[in-house]
Structure 1
């Protein structure tokens, strides 16, 4: 008995060490980016920043947020993520729900046509022409309307709804509830795990998206943070030199702070990643549960 206990303890200890090492390998790259963004430019350029920050300061973040267009782009990214995800969840859930109803004429064809769009796309040029003809160029609706129905989300939500006991809906219909009432009052609350999982997928996609902005938006007031990040990353050297030379609208105290080009990149990367990291822990339990339950039926 004691031998078995020792073997179990040894096995658990080895597993714990391996998993901790794996977690450290996964976490360290982002941790290193944070270290570089808050360390002095001299220490970063000499490669001295490895485990702990050297010359701790927040000037990189202060100066990045003072660059023209950053705050506006941040607001646009937040707005498109919140509005786009909310509307996508509403309309995709409605379509997924009605596709589970036997009395809907042609429901199988509607569902198959929706899934078909996941595998075949017209391409970049037809997409560009279509968006332009619809008047979505230099329009905030460009970020919302094209993704208001997500085939991937519809598949997951429909599969989950089909796993719910029909007796829940039948009892509500007997009491006089219509389909919309049943969806909002019964199906949606029960489907919170899969809806939250889909929300995480879509929110990350909306937050990271920049191609629609790149091809169809010329108005700087509608630029997203990811496009600003892309432009800054491709011009980090010039950006750092301009900050060193005082060519931007920064105050005298900030101008004295030298910036390393790599520090500029890491600082902007941290700024774009932090919002998603703050939201994900609150949805993680629903995310895992929703994916597992949504995959029961295929």
Structure 2
């Protein structure tokens, strides 16, 4: 027993340099990943003039919430926030449902033409009709300048479907066989047996879908001209292209009200960026325990 303890101590001492080096490397990578978000945050609570001059680097100066107060006055910000949240919640929910439903039927050997349809669906990952035919198709379907342009075209994610299908195929076949003996149909088995056991992979594809919906601005740019349907990301995109005009507008409104405004273009851009990225970042901690397991389950595509 004493020899085993001494051996463990020797091994532990021999591993110290390795552990120290790995710890330092890991800490450096963590700092590299965290610093952009930290820098963004300290810029949004610092004096706008100092941010504009590039004097904010490691810590905030001239603490103020003026940037957030001024950005909240941006026209259409509230409506864009509502559209983005509605799109993300509804789009993610429907995408998870339709993707998992399609994946479930592709696991059934008795499905007519299963291999052909599966290969046809997977082929869409590599071949596309092109931007103009897709635009014309959406136009003929009457989706332009409607909220559903955000939801319907991307309701089925092929890559996500493959991950869910792989996870479902790892389930013991006896679970469904026992349900079949009790007279359960496909929908009953799918809802009551299959879906409850797919939480890890559904959390994974749900996160993929939510991030995709939240960050997308190209759909708005291509298919939407009504300001009431603009998303937060497209609003940010417009501000990045017209940031100086936006800052002048805010300053003019402040002068008309008889209040002083020190807002600067860089402050508007950074504060809007923070408002856009913080909500989606807050989602990850709640599904982390499912996400890591789901990624491992779907690591081998089938």
Q: Is this a same-fold pair by TM over 0.5?
A: yes
Corresponding position of 2:204: 197
Residue 295 of structure 1 pairs with residue 299 of structure 2:
yes
Residue 183 of structure 1 pairs with residue 183 of structure 2:
no
Aligned counterparts, 1:245-256, within 5 A: 246-247=252-253, 251-253=257-259, 256=260
CA contact (8 A) 1:87 1:148 kept: yes
Question: Alignment partner for residue 69 of structure 1, among 66, 70, 76?
Answer: 76
Residue 279 of structure 1 pairs with residue 279 of structure 2:
no
- CA deviation after TM superposition for structure 1 residue 296, in Å: 4.2
Residue 168 of structure 1 pairs with residue 172 of structure 2:
no
Instruction: Using structure 1 for the length normalisation, give the TM-score.
Output: 0.94
Residue deviations 1:32-51 (CA, integer Å, cap 9, x gap): 11111111012213322112
d(CA) in 2 for partners of 1:251, 1:28: 38
d(CA) in 2 for partners of 1:79, 1:150: 19
- CA deviation after TM superposition for structure 1 residue 242, in Å: 2.7
Aligned counterparts, 1:11-90, within 5 A: 11-90=18-97
Corresponding position of 1:258: 262
Residue 103 of structure 1 pairs with residue 103 of structure 2:
no
- CA deviation after TM superposition for structure 1 residue 89, in Å: 0.8
CA contact (8 A) 2:255 2:261 kept: no
Residue deviations 1:36-70 (CA, integer Å, cap 9, x gap): 11110122133221121111111211211211111
CA contact (8 A) 1:213 1:224 kept: yes
Corresponding position of 1:132: 139
Unaligned runs of 5+ in 1: none
- CA deviation after TM superposition for structure 1 residue 161, in Å: 0.5
CA contact (8 A) 2:104 2:165 kept: yes
d(CA) in 2 for partners of 1:80, 1:5: 52
Number of matched residues? 295
CA contact (8 A) 2:43 2:270 kept: yes
Corresponding position of 1:230: 237
Q: Say what the alpha-carbon RMSD is for the aligned residues.
A: 1.6
CA separation of 1:249/1:76 partners in 2, compared to 1, >3 Å: closer, same or farther?
farther
Deviating above 6 A after TM superposition, structure 1's stretches of 4 or more consecutive aligned residues are none
Question: Alignment partner for residue 99 of structure 2, among 85, 92, 95?
Answer: 92
Residue deviations 1:169-225 (CA, integer Å, cap 9, x gap): 111111221111111111111111111100011111111111221122111111111
CA separation of 1:166/1:47 partners in 2, compared to 1, >3 Å: closer, same or farther?
same
d(CA) in 1 for partners of 2:256, 2:119: 55
d(CA) in 1 for partners of 2:99, 2:268: 39
CA contact (8 A) 2:74 2:250 kept: no
3-state DSSP of counterpart to 2:283: helix
CA contact (8 A) 2:162 2:301 kept: no
